[in-house]
Structure 1
């Protein structure tokens, strides 16, 4: 049975933690062993690999299973204290497990007086204390990297680390602009604080659907959000259409929860367009990614036609030409007409998409 996109997202997150721990632990161990006459023997490599895999699994279970791969909503000090306590407990537990497994006695079993004594002696050694402190720092470092990765997305994160966006770069991208329906009315009914919680829950569902369809959230401004994909990635799989469908489905399944908590359920309308844009980092302190080009303005202009045409999902002719056929989820595509958008010299053919 094929994994759902939700399962794939969590599996990828778990793999990230395990790979990161193996890479970092073996890397640091190699650096510390550099110049040592004894070097790193195979047994030491096996032991550190085993320890790093256990730490990666423990870290992944905490973030992916316990926290559900979401932001920790507890106060910063409490969240840091709980995470630090978890790291110390898991480091000690995994070290003990590695020692017991590595020094297992086939006759007396894994736990006996000799193995317990060996664990005690190991934890009295200065090198073990240093190792625990190093693993503790590495755990927080990996958590920080994962948080930055989640904020910027895989493509932007990697390219930013490599410095590819320091100079302007032309890219062919797809942009989807989503707008929350009746946001002003909802804000007036709920008040600022409850509306803030409402919009936070709304965007949490959107970000999950976006990640599961390998998209990136470029910008969130109030009740509107820009999502983006590489155009080449949408030619064989209609990822923006899948994202739209999944988000609609997620809102439908959480409708009762929203109604119970806020007395109103969210709904949205969206538009998609594609084309070439210039990608670059802007600013010096607090710099951020920016996309410059007519594509974004055109996408937002198309979205304004949703209310006029009574449609929830509109796409441009340029994007329609990139879509693989047949369309997923039995989407029905019909011509909405040719429209002259504000700021555009030529009219643009618009298509509306609906599900049965």
Structure 2
């Protein structure tokens, strides 16, 4: 149970589960089309399985588990191996791998389904006679074509999800933000230190690789503390939380320290590869935004509100105050606890705003907040 409550485990489950659903729905759709075409009769009993409720339930479970298996392989392993390939190369190479994988699954599950249909032992010669007829029939070919189509749609979903972000894709499908909504959210603007001089030193291509490694290293911490990446803007990343998720267990603050810790662990790699280990400063603020879908040529989930401008300006003050993290008074009041206190930095007039704002910096952090 503790494993299921782990945010990272939950994140992977949410990414893998749609594969099973895609496979299940497609299998039902294909079965319906084939049944309608044959007038719900098994016209090739020597090769085809006659659909009964037992067969239907077994096939549905098998297809769902196969989709889950593919999703697990894709999300946890194969997707990462082809991460830097072009989109068409990912589709082509993965199609070959998964077709071989599904061929094995098909050859294993057909005899089981045949034994259920014939109500006999899996070792019965009648089962294997039907199996031999099946693998030399057009039914086998049409099954592999159906599997290839399911694989292609699954990979298409995987690619779109990777590029848009899983939560953004689900929000588009559900229509959550089709009409603008007001929400209370927490934003963290994270900006890399000394990025200009580093870009000049490394050159464009190596600096791009550096940024890619830098962002990859931050991703686990963001997942662990339930953040959502809103935007990558050059060397800056904007992370957001729904207010309750960000405040719960001080997730937004823990995320900051977890990202710092993750980069520190990888500092040797960055120094050997690029000659410098990255570090960053961040501003944290909380407030109301209007959230909705926007764009004519390209749709995206868009946040608008004064809270974003204020957070960006708070982040810029980190260098002036020589602080790695500055928090607004609205958020500091919600985060303060027995294990965490804040040092006041004074009332500051933020650029472009008439009203001054109270700003705070976390005092030396207990080890518990770094866990």
Name the TM-score class by shorter chain.
Answer: 0.7 to 0.9
1:48 alignment counterpart: 59
1:333 alignment counterpart: 342
1:14 alignment counterpart: 16
Does the alignment pair 1:355 with 2:345? no
After alignment, is 188-197 or 94-103 more displaced?
A: 94-103
Per-residue CA distance 1:112-149 (angstroms, 9 max, x = gap): 87655433322233233222212211222122223333
Contact kept? 1:234, 1:323, Cα under 8 Å: no
CA apart distance, 1:5: 4.4
2:46 alignment counterpart: none
1:252 alignment counterpart: 264
Aligned residue among 293, 309, 322 for 1:297: 309
Does the alignment pair 1:64 with 2:66? no
After alignment, is 132-141 or 262-271 more displaced?
A: 132-141
CA apart distance, 1:27: 4.7
Distance verdict in 2 for CA 1:142–1:246, change over 3 Å: same
Task: Report the TM-score, using the length of structure 1 for normalisation.
Answer: 0.87
Q: Distance in 1 between matches of 2:337 and 2:26?
A: 44
The number of residues matched between the two structures is: 351
Q: Distance in 2 between matches of 1:21 and 1:324?
A: 47
Does the alignment pair 1:144 with 2:144? no
Q: What residue ranges of structure 2 are gaps of 5+ in the alignment?
A: 42-49, 367-371
Q: Distance in 2 between matches of 1:247 and 1:313?
A: 12
CA apart distance, 1:233: 2.1
CA apart distance, 1:226: 0.9
Distance verdict in 2 for CA 1:260–1:110, change over 3 Å: farther
Q: What residue ranges of structure 1 are gaps of 5+ in the alignment?
A: none
Contact kept? 1:216, 1:228, Cα under 8 Å: yes
Q: How does 1:1-356 map to 2 (within 5 A)?
A: 2-3=2-3, 5-30=7-32, 32-33=34-35, 36-37=39-40, 41-67=52-78, 72-103=83-114, 116-323=128-335, 325-326=337-338, 331-353=340-362, 354-356=364-366
Q: Distance in 2 between matches of 1:88 and 1:201?
A: 32
Distance verdict in 2 for CA 1:147–1:187, change over 3 Å: same
Q: Distance in 1 between matches of 2:336 and 2:123?
A: 59
Distance verdict in 2 for CA 1:111–1:211, change over 3 Å: farther
Contact kept? 1:281, 1:287, Cα under 8 Å: yes
SS at 2:334 equivalent:
coil
SS at 2:2 equivalent:
coil
Contact kept? 1:8, 1:212, Cα under 8 Å: no
SS at 1:15 equivalent:
helix
Distance verdict in 2 for CA 1:95–1:319, change over 3 Å: same
